[in-house]
Amino acid sequence: MTVLVTGGAGYIGSHMVWELLDAGESVVVLDRLSTGFEWAVAPEAKLVVGDVADKELVGSIIRENKVDAIIHFAGSIVVPESVADPLAYYENNTSKTRTLIETAVREGVPHFIFSSTAAVYGGAGLEPVREDARLAPESPYGLSKLMSEWMLRDAGLAHDIRYTALRYFNVAGADPRGRTGQSTPGATHLIKVACETALGKRPFMQVFGTDYPTPDGTCMRDYIHVSDLAAAHRLALQRLRAGGQSLVANCGYSHGYSVLEVIDSVRRAFGRDFEVKMGDRRPGDAAAVVANSDLARAELGWTPQRDDLDQIVADALAWERILTSKNSARG
């Protein structure tokens, strides 16, 4: 049995590949390498460069490798980009996922794990959000993922395929062993931006808004270590293989940190100060987005191992340093 990981050369996907290999699984990666990197794929995994919507290619990968599960990460993930070019997001995230599900059903792949997002909920409050909260995506990105969840639900009712959709909150950090991390240039995510600033890759960074209705006036998010997220997928795979029913579950730690708290943690990890400017609100940001993760803990038996902001930041900073030396070695 082999696990097909789409987007396995990307940030979360490359951690998933290591998680599976460490657990003794056989892994094949399908990635277009549009934002991912060949070097990010663990050498023990087989890499196929191609598109998830290429039915023939995916069909032959499934047959040749006896794939019994697909973990689908491939997709576009930048919220403002989805507002500027919604049709590209509906194509890349929704339409291609539809084709991939169709191929999975046709080839008789019984298990499908899907990378969904907290963005399906729209603006949340300080209270942790449960899976049965109102679904109201505020961006084409969030809607493109929600439509994929719905296609999986309906395909699961009509065909012999069971799925788990994990709704990620703010994924951050890097492999604690330094094997992979977030590497795509032009990052917008807070922890990566702060680490880049600390290391002098940016002259300064900005805090987007200081007048939110939160304790220190800056936005709060539920930052989850990418290794804990990968572990949740591995447990979801085990559960499906053991006959578990389809499931949609949040992945977060159930508590939030403010932008200022995150920046302080990066200062502590770096040991020196760097320039931070207070700026205006970024359009579309909710004041707070925090997961209720009771369901993932109960259903998957998921017990996070790295629920510690300083550790997330230390791993992200360590990876940023590794990336600097990789890039300078490449010239």
C-alpha span between 163 and 302 (Å, rounded): 17
Closest residue by Cα to residue 101 from 165, 171, 12: 165
What residues between 33 and 72 interact with ligand UFG by CB under 6 A?
none
**193 is a contact residue toward ligand UFG (CB under 6 A):** yes
Of positions 162, 221, 233, 234, contacts ligand UFG by CB under 6 A: 221
Closest residue by Cα to residue 28 from 76, 62, 73, 74: 62
**198 is a contact residue toward ligand UFG (CB under 6 A):** no
Nearest approach, Cβ of residue 82 and ligand UFG (Å): 9
Element (H, E) at 188: none
Q: What are phi and psi of 244, to 5 degrees?
A: -60, 150
**207 is a contact residue toward ligand UFG (CB under 6 A):** yes
CA atoms within a 13 Å half-sphere pointing along the CA-CB vector of 318: 14
Shortest Cβ contact with ligand UFG: which residue? Answer: 219
Catalytic residues: 141
Note whether 68 and 241 are within 8 A (CB).
Answer: yes
Instruction: With contacts defined by CB under 6 A, name the span among 87-95, 97-105, 107-115, 204-212 that binds ligand UFG.
Output: 204-212
Residue corresponding to tokens 């290999």: 21
C-alpha span between 259 and 4 (Å, rounded): 36
**282 is a contact residue toward ligand UFG (CB under 6 A):** yes
Q: Which is nearer to ligand UFG, 77 or 235 (CB)?
A: 77
**119 is a contact residue toward ligand UFG (CB under 6 A):** yes
Q: Which is nearer to ligand UFG, 121 or 163 (CB)?
A: 121
Chain contacts with ligand UFG (rule: CB under 6 A)? 77, 79, 117-119, 141, 170, 188-190, 193, 205-208, 219, 221, 259, 282, 285, 289
